[in-house]
Amino acid sequence: MTNLPSIGKMDRKIIIQQPTVTRTASGSAVPDWEAIHVLWAMVTETTGNESEKDDKITAFEKITFTTRYTAGINQRMRVSYDGNTYKIISVQREHRRKYLIIKTIRND
């Protein structure tokens, strides 16, 4: 079990979004994201990295969000935080479902 924070350290607001499809006036399906949870979280930035593929440099950063337990969050969703979106890599339940550890990655 990881060293879990006190509730007072969860002082950053994050939004959990799930994929959805909306319809245009003409009836065309358009992929979109819908906010389903607004949570308070402790944010831990881990190391970022860069890679080069086809002469293009891609940078990414890893961030872990620790929140109170909320059911139903999974890897098909994403986190919106501080003007950026983060793909959810893994979701861990900790301390008898008291906390969620959400590991994410942001690509530039």
**Where are the chain's structural domains?**
7-107
Q: Which of the 8 DSSP states describes residue 4?
A: P
38: Cβ contacts below 8 Å, ≥ 6 apart: 13, 14, 15, 16
Q: Which of the 8 DSSP states describes residue 5?
A: P
For each of the chain's 108 residues, which pLDDT tens digit applies? 456 677 789 999 999 999 999 988 998 999 999 999 999 999 998 866 655 556 666 667 899 999 999 999 999 999 999 999 999 999 999 877 789 999 999 866
43: Cβ contacts below 8 Å, ≥ 6 apart: 12, 14, 63, 64, 65, 81
**What is d(CA 92, CA 24) in angstroms, rounded to the nearest whole number?**
37
> What pLDDT was estimated at residue 97?
79
Q: What is the pTM of this model?
A: 0.81
Residue 29: which H helix or E strand, with range?
strand 29-53
Phi and psi torsions of 65, nearest 5°: -110, 125
In CATH terms, the fold of domain 7-107 is: Thrombin, subunit H (2.40.10)
